[in-house]
Structure 1
Amino acid sequence: MRGFLASSIGVVTAAALAVPLALSTPALAEAAPVTPGSTQSLPLVPLGPSAAARIPGVPGMSTSPGPGAETRGLTPRDVTTFSLVGVVWDDATAELGGRVQVRTRSVATGTWSAWQDVDTHNGEHAADPGAVERGTGRLRGATAPLWVGPSDGVEVRVQAENTATGRRAAARPGRLPAGLRIELVDPGAAQPPSAADGKNGAISPPSHLPPDDDKGDVAATLPAMSMEASESSSANLPHAPLGALAISALDKADSTADAVLAGDGRLTAAARPYIGPRPRIVTRRGWGADESLREPGFVYTSTVKAAFVHHTASGNNYACADAPAVLRSLYRYHVVSEGWRDFGYNFAVDRCGTVYEGRAGGVAKPVLGAHTMGFNADSMGVAVIGTYSSTAPPKAAVDAVARLTAWKLGLFGADPRAKTTLRSGGGNLYKKGTNVKLNVISGHRDGFATECPGRLLYNQLPPTRTASAKLQGR
């Protein structure tokens, strides 16, 4: 790793940067090439009374779906293979009050699943009002995405919630937002499949690539990359060579030396003793991100004062070897379906504890994400892949969150056990401009009225704060 450390890289605040690189050396075959993914976007049509009658009441609704409530969906149909579903609508500020259910047909078995509920989501993961991302004119409202695995058939039903207008008044028939569509996302396939580490399911570099801690001349064996991929990979210099599939783990001493040489976080003398050991991080190139999807350049905030922990609410029906495909699907859903500039979270963690680079711009830098509406500035978002409302998060995933936050928060002098103050950018809990005191490691629900990151993952945050601080040496 030392062969790739260079002079300090300054942190740019709230600026978009484009860093095209020209590759002059002979190129080998693309590392772990991925077949480009695709998105089928199908409009949801009104369903007849018989379909609506099959939809049960929704726990937690003020009134159950009933007579007159708008119902839309799709009857069973064959479609091109996909692995992730979600529902979107035209107005990103409109909420979907009601129930969304899907059932899908497995490619492997040819059988239909039971009906599955899709989390209605309603804007909780998004850019702050007034942020660069909000000005694109492409944003759409969306449910959470649901991972269903390779499927070639789908049926959808969405029913609005009837709303009461007063204590004695009859319920008003519920209405759904305009422009409802089902998004069927195919993540694309690695060709050949990425090698898996037997211990934790992490992606391993192909044999023709140098390992991520190689000290030789990487330029001589650099795989071919597009300009967009070069831009994304260059943001992680000098921590890893250009084109690296993973950023290697470092012990505490080497993590500190690495950060000092790179100038990460504008380190203060007081912060230097408390940088945790850097975990191994699979890069965007490692999980197969299609860099042509995102907007060019990067946007940075001033610092990283807090980490918000999320779950993706995409279900737990995935193997660790599937995690790169899940990430490619989530990324495509965020950008193509929801209209975001890039993947929403700064990092992702799978159930086996593998850490992945999320939004492009450099794993050690204060990249502005779109994870916690109102509190994206001066924070980072970490999403544990899965749904943890009634399922306990695996210990490996919780431990990985502790390791990641110990390192990244340490670069910016933040104590995981402490509290910090963030200024709200606007949301459903705090008005824009409100100064809010939050835990340095917070759950999404601390900044926005939401179930995320699920009750059972949220309950793991107190010991995670302790473990993260211990790794920092506090």
Structure 2
Amino acid sequence: MRGFLASSIGVATAAVLALPLALPTPALATPSAGAVTSANPAGSTQSLPLVPVGPAVDRTPGVPGMSATPGGPETQGLAAREVKTFSMVGVVWDDVATELHGRVQVRTRSARTATWSDWQDVEIHNSEHAADLDAAERGSGRVRGATAPLWVGESDGVEVRVQAEPGAQATRAGSRLPTGLRIELVDPGVQTPASGADGKNSGPEGDDKGEVAAPAMSMETAESSAANVPHAALGANEITALDKADSTADAIFASDGELTAAAAPFIGPRPRIVTRKGWGANESLRESGFVYTSTVKAAFVHHSASGNNYACKDAPAVLRSLYRYHVVSSGWRDFGYNFAVDKCGTVYEGRAGGVSKAVLGAHTMGFNTNSMGVAVLGSYTSTAPPAAAVDAVARLTAWKLGLFGRDPRAKTTLVSGGGNLYAKGRNVSMNVISGHRDGFATACPGAKLYGKLGTARTTSAKLQGRP
């Protein structure tokens, strides 16, 4: 894994941070010499330190969420400035064990229209999407506290404010906000010409449509792709859909005949899955090798909390941004979820290691062992998930859980790895298809998506052919 991007900058000149939206666009500061930036077709990250903003009385009153009272809650931020192009934002801090209690807001300037967005809230999720406490990934020394990332589209200006919750307890450093707060600005980069923008194969290399042949695969890409053989050829952009009978035959072949007789009748039809190569994962970012658990007993459904302002053709770029945010900004070994689903119902391979295997993820702190994590791209607290996305979750779980003999309507027992709901070592009864909030005190996967899990369970079981 590449080291976390970090550097120091000089203390910024005090400036009014909270500007009323009715005012003209502010003059932008240019990036300071200490800003961490990179420009690369494979993607880039700009990491900018936040600085204290004060006193509260100096800020323009009437801006939502911000105090105008002298001595009000502690605030850090970044004045409006011009930066290199990015499409996703998030805030990170030094100590993953320190929680951020407050409000994080950003506004961004569109690179295409030069207009500023309204202030947008960034969801604070305080470590519930993370490796288990005793996992090597968690103890690497590179993991940082992080908000959820927010997809904002192609942008070239940013303004940030983070305000401590009134009455928030001071940290060990004496501040009510975590130390080392930084804004992460992620550019997803571009895909190679051999992959379509929607993750589908764009045609045979060198065909009469004028496609440009893909460059030779790197060692890391070959390693990731090989984990999906024999379900797909080495270097495939997708794993094709199969009907129920062919899915069973494929699973028996891939398992060298080790698939249990009890599981075989209830393997659902395999959905089409866009591989990591298909969505353009930069395999040099992640740690080499894969980590597996013994089985898959449950599926945890999440939302990415990255907003719904994306088109389905942009989903690969959203995934590349999430991946870079998880690894470069948050310090994880790889993409956190085992699978992702976009709002049009396309299924994507997440963490590397093989779509049919029990790959250890970093999606549900305390319950990553013997489970899988599925993230529906978007925010579904107050917005209903599209039917296509719910159906995709059902199709994916019918196949993947079926490989391990799991009934989507049943209960299972998982051993807690430690978290804020269950003590480490406790046996916990869970639905085989659960929401993230069932294993951790969190709003994820959003009330609207959580309310659809019953439908997903029923559909998944029917696809498996269960009575």
Same fold by TM-score greater than 0.5: yes
Matched, 1:280 2:272: yes
1:146, 1:315 within 8 Å by CA — same for their partners in 2? yes
Q: Helix, strand or coil: the match of 2:137?
A: helix
1:127, 1:373 within 8 Å by CA — same for their partners in 2? yes
Q: Which residue type is aligned with residue 464 of structure 2? A: Q
2:302, 2:376 within 8 Å by CA — same for their partners in 1? yes
Question: Per the alignment, do residues 313 and 66 of structure 1 end up closer, same or farther by CA in structure 2, a change over 3 Å counting?
Answer: farther
How much has 1:189 moved relative to structure 2? Answer: 1.7
Q: Helix, strand or coil: the match of 1:228?
A: helix
How much has 1:56 moved relative to structure 2? Answer: 3.6
Counterpart of 2:51 in structure 1 is 45
Counterpart of 1:71 in structure 2 is 75
Counterpart of 2:441 in structure 1 is 449
Matches of 1:128 and 1:85, distance apart in 2: 25
Alignment partner of 2:399 out of 370, 393, 407: 407
Counterpart of 2:182 in structure 1 is 181
How much has 1:69 moved relative to structure 2? Answer: 1.6
Q: Which residue type is aligned with residue 450 of structure 1? A: T
Question: Per the alignment, do residues 190 and 160 of structure 1 end up closer, same or farther by CA in structure 2, a change over 3 Å counting?
Answer: same
Q: Which residue type is aligned with residue 97 of structure 1? A: H
Matches of 1:209 and 1:239, distance apart in 2: 24
2:194, 2:203 within 8 Å by CA — same for their partners in 1? no
Q: CA deviation digits over 1:192-250, x for unaligned, max 9?
A: 49436xxxx5522433189xxxxxxxxxx996100000100000011110000000100
Q: Which residue type is aligned with residue 191 of structure 2? A: A
Alignment partner of 1:430 out of 387, 402, 422: 422
Counterpart of 1:467 in structure 2 is 459
Where does 1:210-359 land on structure 2 (aligned, <5 Å)?
224-263=216-255, 266-359=258-351
2:199, 2:237 within 8 Å by CA — same for their partners in 1? no
Q: Helix, strand or coil: the match of 2:402?
A: helix
Q: Helix, strand or coil: the match of 1:420?
A: strand
Question: Per the alignment, do residues 65 and 229 of structure 1 end up closer, same or farther by CA in structure 2, a change over 3 Å counting?
Answer: farther
Question: In the comparison of the two structures, how many residue pairs are matched?
Answer: 416
Q: Helix, strand or coil: the match of 1:299?
A: coil
Matches of 2:332 and 2:157, distance apart in 1: 27
Q: CA deviation digits over 1:69-110, x for unaligned, max 9?
A: 210000100000000000000000110000000000001100
Counterpart of 1:204 in structure 2 is 201
Q: CA deviation digits over 1:15-66, x for unaligned, max 9?
A: xxxxxxxxxxxxxxxxxxx9210000000001122348555449xxxx9998
Question: Per the alignment, do residues 209 and 96 of structure 1 end up closer, same or farther by CA in structure 2, a change over 3 Å counting?
Answer: farther
Unaligned runs of 5+ in 2: 1-39, 208-212
Question: Per the alignment, do residues 259 and 276 of structure 1 end up closer, same or farther by CA in structure 2, a change over 3 Å counting?
Answer: same
| RMSD between aligned residues | 2.2
Q: Which residue type is aligned with residue 95 of structure 1? A: E
Question: Per the alignment, do residues 106 and 162 of structure 1 end up closer, same or farther by CA in structure 2, a change over 3 Å counting?
Answer: same
Question: Per the alignment, do residues 55 and 428 of structure 1 end up closer, same or farther by CA in structure 2, a change over 3 Å counting?
Answer: farther
Counterpart of 2:23 in structure 1 is none
Question: Per the alignment, do residues 449 and 325 of structure 1 end up closer, same or farther by CA in structure 2, a change over 3 Å counting?
Answer: same
Q: Which residue type is aligned with residue 37 of structure 1? A: G
Question: Per the alignment, do residues 112 and 194 of structure 1 end up closer, same or farther by CA in structure 2, a change over 3 Å counting?
Answer: farther
Superposition TM-score, scaled by structure 2 size: 0.86
How much has 1:266 moved relative to structure 2? Answer: 4.4
Percent sequence identity over matched residues?
Answer: 74
Superposition TM-score, scaled by structure 1 size: 0.84
1:223, 1:243 within 8 Å by CA — same for their partners in 2? no
2:199, 2:316 within 8 Å by CA — same for their partners in 1? no
Matches of 2:234 and 2:294, distance apart in 1: 25
Question: Per the alignment, do residues 164 and 242 of structure 1 end up closer, same or farther by CA in structure 2, a change over 3 Å counting?
Answer: closer
Matches of 1:312 and 1:65, distance apart in 2: 35
Question: Per the alignment, do residues 143 and 266 of structure 1 end up closer, same or farther by CA in structure 2, a change over 3 Å counting?
Answer: farther
Question: Per the alignment, do residues 191 and 253 of structure 1 end up closer, same or farther by CA in structure 2, a change over 3 Å counting?
Answer: closer
Unaligned runs of 5+ in 1: 1-33, 166-172, 211-220
Where does 1:4-153 land on structure 2 (aligned, <5 Å)?
35-48=41-54, 49=56, 50-51=58-59, 53=61, 56-57=64-65, 67-153=71-157
Matches of 1:106 and 1:407, distance apart in 2: 41
Counterpart of 2:36 in structure 1 is none
Q: CA deviation digits over 1:437-465, x for unaligned, max 9?
A: 00000000000000000000000000110
